[in-house]
């Protein structure tokens, strides 16, 4: 096992590489204006909107006596602490200490360092430290032929490493997805060649015959028992998987599966659908099928304890695991020298 893989098994979630990555923590519509408590990479945050409406993420720990700011209230773009009312603006500056009276000097150490925080694709993204990754590209978002459908941000009791391993894997379809599309899926997985896909994704393209009789018809737009799907599945580091589906009818259904590690064993999970169709079917009906598929993955993954072993010990891989093994190889490189570096308490 490489040194990096060893170190990565220590704690991937709190590594420097993860702390320098953009991670989605909430829906934009949930932060209106906040505050919202979130934990990402083991760091407790409070998320709210400042005076200009942009989201901000501050440590969820008041500089005065360390009360969680997420229990406070936002007024005029400032967050007031629930303990003694110290007030912080969107940049983390302490702008008021009520007990000192109006105009009193604020101690310089009262100010908080804001983390990096932006809205993109209907989600609020945070990078704990200076970001070294880009938010994954999604050209569909600027294409009027596509509509975007966001889904709730859920907490899964599963490591982000387990989740991406699952989302890069098709050999579980006939076993896990029997309640949705899996019953018609092939058990045998043809050899997979992993390579570059458009928009910086790495993965593979394939054809499948999917069951279309148990709710899939709403997604596929066809009313046959089975449908032919031309698909691709790929990842960008650290934790985004894109699945593209094109039906013979020309309809396109693109899903971004997004994970953010809360810690080494829990994750935020959400997915976004971009869809080129006639816009006729209501969004709720479109995502109902994908939500049911996600629930099947969640039920399986939450039975597997701990993070995915990042070295060669502890798991056995076969040819159908090539895509997730490739993700793992690149992720260990990505963790690099910063792997296992725990955040300061």
83 binds ligand FES (CB under 6 A): yes
- Compute the least distance from the CB of residue 84 to ligand FES, in Å: 3
Closest CA to 191 of 166, 171, 176, 211: 171
Residue 290 or 297 having the CB closest to Fe ion = 297
- Strand, helix or coil for residue 47: strand
165 binds Fe ion (CB under 5 A): no
Residue 81 or 262 having the CB closest to ligand FES = 81
- Strand, helix or coil for residue 16: helix
- CA angle centred on 154, ends 149 and 155, rounded to 5°: 160
- Among 51, 84, 139, 337, the residue binding ligand FES under the rule CB under 6 A is 84
Q: Segment 188-217, which members bind Fe ion (CB under 5 A)?
A: none
88 binds ligand FES (CB under 6 A): no
Look up residue 29 and give its two tokens. Answer: 């519509």
329 binds ligand FES (CB under 6 A): no
The DSSP output letter for 328 is H
Q: What's the rounded Cα separation, in Å, for the pair 302 and 325? A: 21
Q: Segment 285-324, which members bind Fe ion (CB under 5 A)?
A: 297
13 binds ligand FES (CB under 6 A): no
Look at residue 86 and give the partner it binds from Fe ion, ligand FES, none, a contact being a CB closer than 5 to 8 Å depending on partner kind: ligand FES
Under 8 Å CB-to-CB from 65, ≥6 apart: which residues?
83, 84
How large is the greatest C-alpha to C-alpha distance in the chain, in angstroms?
73
- Strand, helix or coil for residue 20: coil
C-beta nearest to Fe ion: residue: 297
Look at residue 329 and give the partner it binds from ligand FES, Fe ion, none, a contact being a CB closer than 5 to 8 Å depending on partner kind: none
Closest CA to 47 of 133, 114, 122: 114
- Please give the size of the binding site for ligand FES, defined by CB under 6 A: 9
262 binds ligand FES (CB under 6 A): no
The contact mask relative to ligand FES for 55-74 (x = CB under 6 A, - = no) is: -------x-xx-x-------
Do the Cβ atoms of 269 and 259 come closer than 8 Å?
A: yes
- Residue written as tokens 């394939």? 206
Look at residue 297 and give the partner it binds from Fe ion, ligand FES, none, a contact being a CB closer than 5 to 8 Å depending on partner kind: Fe ion
Do the Cβ atoms of 233 and 243 come closer than 8 Å?
A: yes
Query: Using CB under 6 A as the criterion, which residues of the chain lie in contact with ligand FES when the complex forms?
Result: 62, 64-65, 67, 81, 83-86
Query: Using CB under 5 A as the criterion, which residues of the chain lie in contact with Fe ion when the complex forms?
Result: 297
């Amino acid at each position: 096992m490489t040194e990096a893989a060893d170190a990565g098994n220590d704690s991937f979630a709190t590594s420097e590489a993860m702390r320098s990555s953009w991670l989605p923590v909430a829906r934009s519509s949930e932060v209106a204006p906040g505050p919202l408590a979130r934990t990402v990479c083991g760091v407790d945050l409070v998320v709210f909107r400042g005076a200009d409406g942009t989201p901000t993420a501050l440590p969820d720990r008041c500089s005065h006596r360390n009360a969680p700011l997420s229990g406070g209230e936002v007024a005029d773009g400032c967050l007031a602490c629930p303990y003694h009312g110290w007030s912080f603006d969107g940049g983390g500056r302490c702008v008021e200490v009520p007990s000192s009276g109006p105009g009193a000097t604020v101690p310089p150490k009262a100010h908080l360092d804001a983390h990096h925080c932006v809205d993109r694709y209907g989600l609020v993204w945070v990078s704990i430290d200076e970001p070294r990754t880009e938010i994954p590209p999604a050209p569909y978002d600027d294409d009027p032929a596509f509509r975007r459908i966001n889904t709730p941000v859920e907490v899964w009791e599963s490591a982000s490493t387990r989740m991406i391993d699952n989302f890069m894997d098709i050999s579980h379809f006939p076993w896990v997805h029997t309640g949705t599309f899996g019953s018609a899926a092939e058990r045998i997985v043809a050899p997979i060649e992993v390579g570059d896909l458009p928009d910086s994704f790495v993965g593979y393209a394939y054809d499948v015959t999917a069951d279309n009789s148990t709710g899939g018809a709403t997604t596929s737009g066809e009313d046959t028992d089975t449908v032919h799907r031309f698909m691709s599945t790929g990842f960008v580091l650290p934790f985004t998987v894109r699945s593209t589906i094109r039906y013979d009818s020309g309809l396109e259904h693109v899903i971004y599966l997004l994970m953010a590690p809360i810690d080494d064993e829990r994750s935020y999970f959400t997915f976004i659908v971009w869809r080129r169709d006639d816009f006729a079917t209501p969004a709720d009906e479109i995502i109902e099928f994908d939500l049911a598929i996600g629930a099947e993955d969640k039920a399986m993954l939450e039975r597997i304890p701990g993070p995915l072993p990042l070295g060669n010990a502890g798991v056995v891989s076969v040819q159908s695991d090539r895509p997730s093994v490739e993700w793992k190889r690149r992720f260990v490189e990505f963790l690099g020298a910063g792997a296992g570096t725990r955040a300061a308490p």
